[in-house]
Structure 1
Amino acid sequence: MTLADTALTEVMAELAALEDPKIREMNEKHGDDHGVNLGKLRAVAKRLKTQHEFARRLWETGDTAARLLALLICRPKAFERDELDVMLRDARTPKVHDWLVNYVVKKNRHCEDLRLAWSADPDPVVASAGWALTTERVAKQPEGLDLVGLLDVIEAEMKDAPDRLQWAMNHCLAQIGIDNPSLRARAIDIGERLEVLKDYPTPPNCTSPFAPIWITEIVRRQQLT
C-alpha cells in the first residue's frame, strides 16, 4: 500500500467516525446521503489544506462526505472543462452538486463555457447548474446577458420544470427582479401568475422563495441601507 493509499484509508475512516445517524436522517429528507456535520468536515479540510491530487482520490470514492471534502481541498482553477462536466453529471446529491458549482466551477476559467452548455442540457439537474451560473452572472456580471430573453424562457418553462431546475430558474427570476428596476414589474408578474413556490414552507424570520415576496423584501432592505 502506498502512502497515498494509506492517507486515503485514514481519511475515509475519519469521515466514517464522524457519521451521525440523526444528521443522516435529516439530510436524507433533502436527498443527501451523508451524516457528517459540515462544521466538522470543514475542520478536517482546514487540517489537510489544499491537496488537489488527493482531492481527486477522494472524489473517485463516490462517497458523498468524501466528495464534499474533496471540493474543499481541491484547487478549483486546476480542473479542465471536460473534467468538470463529468464531475457535475456524476454529482447527483444536492449538496455535492451545490458545492461543486459554487466552490469550484464559479472559480474556474471554463465557467462561462459550461454555463452556456449546461443551461441547454436536456438533463434537468445539469440544466439547473447552468441556471445557477446564470443567476451568478445576473448578480455580478450582467453585461451581455439577454435578460428579457431569460424572462421569456422562465415564463414559458419554469412552471412545469422538475424541482431542482425549477428552483434554479426561480432564483434567476428573483435576481433579475431585484437587480433591474426596469424589469422588476414583469418579474413580479411572472411570479404571481406561475405561483411557483408560493406555498413553500418558510421558517419565521426567513424570506419566502416565492419570487414576488422575495423580490419585494430584498429591494425593501436595499432601500433602507
Structure 2
Amino acid sequence: MDFDTVMQELEALGKERTKKIYISNGAQEPVFGVATGAMKPIAKQIKINQRLADELYATGNYDAMYFAGIIADPKAMTESDFDRWMDAAYFYMLSDYVVAVTLSESDIAQEVADNWIASNQELRMSAGWSCYCWLLGNRPDNKFSESKISTMLDTVKAEIHDSPERTKSAMNNFLSTVGISYKPLNEKVLEISREVGIVEVKRENKKRSFLNAYESIQKEMDRGRLGFKRKYVRC
C-alpha cells in the first residue's frame, strides 16, 4: 500500500464528530477525524514501514501522523529522527501519544527521553516524562536503574507545581506509573505523591484539571494491580 492509497483510505474513514473531538483537544487542520481503532485493518496490511511512516508524518495531517506512529520501526530510528518528529509535534496528543510511544519501543528510549526532559521545552519535557511512563508500564523492573528513577521522583517533587501545564500532567502520570508499575520504589512514590498533593493543570478553552497521583496509586493497589505491566505499548 503506497502513500496516496493510505491517505485516501484515511480520508474515507474520517468522521466529522471525531474530527471535532481532536480539534477540541488541540489538533489543527488538516484533520480527517479517524478513530484509532479504524486504523487497525490498514496497519495489518502494511505492518512496519519506516519510509512510509516518515512520508505520512511529514504531511502535518494529524491522522496521518498518528498512523505513522503505528507503522514506524522504532529500532530503525535515530535520535535525530525522533527529534525531527518532535519538532513537528505541535500538541500533546502527538508528543505524548505518538512520538513518546514510538520512542518507548526503541533501544535509545531512555537516552533520548532524558535529553527531552532536560530541554526546558514544554512538549519535549512532556514527551520525555511520558516516554518513561510507557517504558515503566511495559518493561521489567530490572531494565531500570533504581537510583535514577529515585532521582527522577525527587525532581518531580521539587518541580512539578512550577512546571509548564503539559509537563505537569506528564510528571503526575510518571508518579502514578512508578507507584503502580515499578515495585522497588512503591513506598517512596507513595510518600512523595502524598506530599505533592493535588496538581492543578490549566487547559486552553477547557476546565482546569485537578490530578492526584496518590489517590490514583491507592485505587490501583486496592484493585490488586501493583506491578501491572502492559503487554504492548503501540496499538
What TM-score comes out, normalization by structure 2 length? 0.78
- 2:104·2:132 contact (CA, 8 Å) conserved in 1? no
Q: Do the aligned partners of residues 72 and 135 (structure 1) sit closer, same or farther apart at CA in structure 2, a change above 3 Å counting?
A: closer
Distance 2:133 2:9 in 1: 36
Q: Is the 8 A contact 1:128 1:168 kept in 2?
A: yes
Deviates more, 1:142-151 or 1:13-22: 142-151
Counterparts of 2:39 and 2:4 in 1: how far apart (Å)? 16
Q: Which residue among 183, 187, 202 is the counterpart of 1:182?
A: 187
Contact 2:220–2:226 (Cα < 8 Å) also in 1:
no
How many angstroms apart in 2 are the aligned matches of 1:77 and 1:119? Answer: 21
Worse overlay, 57-66 or 118-127 = 57-66
Q: Determine if the alignment matches structure 1 residue 196 to structure 2 residue 194.
A: no
Quote the residue 2:100 is aligned against.
101
AA at the equivalent of 2:115: A
1:204 maps to which residue?
none
Matched, 1:122 2:124: no
- Flag the structure with larger Rg: 1
Q: Indicate whether 1:217 and 2:219 are aligned.
A: yes
Unmatched 5+ stretches in structure 2: 204-209, 228-235
Q: Larger relative CO (CA 8 A, sep 6+): 1 or 2?
A: 2
Indicate the structure with greater helix content: 1
What is the alpha-carbon distance in structure 2 between the residues aligned to residue 10 and residue 25 of structure 1? 24
Conservation of the 8 A alpha-carbon contact between 2:190 and 2:214:
no
Q: How many residues in Structure 1 have an aligned counterpart in Structure 2?
A: 210
> Distance between the aligned counterparts of 2:178 and 2:3, measured in 1?
44
Give the drift of 1:143: 2.3
Indicate the residue corresponding to 2:130 in structure 1.
Answer: 132
Verify the 8 A CA contact 1:84 1:105 in the aligned structure 2: yes
In the superposition, relative to structure 1, how do residues 22 and 12 fare at CA in structure 2: closer, same or farther (>3 Å)?
same
Identical-residue share of aligned pairs (%): 23
How many angstroms does 1:137 deviate by? Answer: 5.2
Partner Cα separation in structure 2 for residue 57 and residue 224 of structure 1: 40
Q: TM-score, normalised by structure 1?
A: 0.81
- 1:74 matched residue in structure 2: 72
